[in-house]
Each structure stands twice: as C-alpha cells, then as structure tokens.
Amino acid sequence: MENEKVVDLLNDLLTKNYDAEKGYKEAAEKVEHQALRSYFTAQAKNRYDFGHEIKGLIAKYGGEPDKGTSVAGDIHRTWIAIRDAFSSGDKNIYEECIRGEETFSEEYGEVLNETGIPSDVAETVRKQKASVDRALLSLRTMEDFA
C-alpha cells in the first residue's frame, strides 16, 4: 500500500478520534451520574491518547496529521446526536454513546480489512479496536446508571 493511502486512512481515524474525544468530553459535562461521568472522562482521555499514537504513524509514513474534528461522516453525526440528547437526560446520552462506540468499532474494522496495510499500522489499529470493544462492553454494563 502506498504511503499516501496509509496516511489517508490514518488521518481518517485521527479525525474520528478527535470527534469521539470531543463527544465524550461533552457527555461528561452533561451527565448527572458520577459513574457515567468518570467513564466518559476516561474515554475522552483514551481517544486523546489514540490520536497521539496515530499522529506518530502518520509522521512515520511522511504525512501531516489533520488538525481537528470532521465536518462530515457517520462518527461526527453520531456525536452530534449525543449533543442533541443532552436535553433528554442521561439515558439518551448513554444510548448515543453506545451507538457511537459501535460505529467507531466498525470503522476500525474497516481499516483492518484494507488490503496491504503495513504491519505496524495494523497492530496499532487492532490494539485500539480492542480497546474500543472493551470500552463498549464496559459501557453496556452501566445501563442501570443511565
């Protein structure tokens, strides 16, 4: 796979991590239940860390990291829905976060299905996807808090 294609894939993931980080920060500010607030804060930090890992790979493959959240795409629309849910209480915020994590996991899976991605990129994406999947399982156990 050409470096330019690798950089494009990584920048797409980076932008989605920016979206998720921002969405989680907003969710943490709006929920009332402390366990959910702690979870959302931890996930925002997790996505921040993912972004730094991805930025390192982008530089390695000769690219420049994108600098902010997306203005289009499924992940962005999902996080917009989270913002819209804020007026409806913790349960709606929780449900939108579930949807966001499911979509996020699918996006990581799509990158892993790309033919010819370098092994270091695949390893990082696999590791981050596993973290997203664990976070989703953990979030699902918090339904009683919502």
- Is 82's pLDDT higher than 90? no
CATH topology of domain 3-145: Ferritin (1.20.1260)
Give the tokens for residue 101.
Answer: 């994590």
CA dihedral (123, 38, 16, 136) positive or negative: positive
Give the tokens for residue 70.
Answer: 């997306």
Number of Cβ within 10 Å of residue 143's Cβ equals 11
- How would residue 78 be classed by pLDDT, with cut points 50, 70 and 90? low
pLDDT single digits (tens) 27-47:
888 888 898 899 999 999 999
Q: Three-class SS of residue 70?
A: coil
**C-alpha to C-alpha distances, 28 to 15, 64, 118, nearest whole angstrom:** 20, 30, 35
CA dihedral (70, 73, 74, 77) positive or negative: positive
pLDDT single digits (tens) 103-126:
889 999 999 999 999 999 999 999
As a whole number of Å, the CA-based R_g of the chain is: 15
Region at 73 (left for phi over 0; alpha for psi -120 to 50; beta for the rest):
left
pTM of structure: 0.82
